[in-house]
Amino acid sequence: MSEEIAKPNVATVGLRIAGGLVDFVFALAIFFLFSMAFGTVSQTETASFNVNLTGWPFMAYALVMLFIYSWMEFRYGKTPGKFAVRTHVVRESGGPITFNQALARNALRVIDGLLIYLVGLIIILATRERQRFGDIVAHTLVVSDPVAPVTATVD
């Protein structure tokens, strides 16, 4: 007899967008560090910065980011953005995800990220469980963290 795990609340679209924005800032910071180490960072006459990372250094950056996000989701169920907005990734059955599920959902960010993540947003809005393409393929859900019950004592 198998025991079914109760499904937690699926994260709202707003939480998914907010978490995605935090993850974008995190990825941008890592991109800047990679550019400083392996690419070019220059300042223009208008005091703006040009950051350039191409070829093998860019591929290394992409693989590092894929590994970081996949490992964090496998180990903690969260990326930095999910930590910030208190959501996490689970299997569709409600249990923790495997590394292969984390790797699949993150590798498919390439498709979800098309047109500045418009493709991912449309898929999230069109699915009952608010899943992006990577979630559908990996059989995962992004859910809200459980809220600890508030207890009060009267003295």
Per-residue pLDDT reduced to its tens digit, 99-154: 999 999 999 999 999 999 999 999 999 999 999 999 999 999 999 998 877 776 77
pTM metric for this prediction: 0.85
Buried b / exposed e across 65-78, counting CB within 10 Å, b at 16+?
bbebbbebbbeebb
Return the structure tokens found at 123.
Answer: 């898929």
Query: Is the CB of residue 105 less than 8 Å from the CB of residue 136?
Result: no
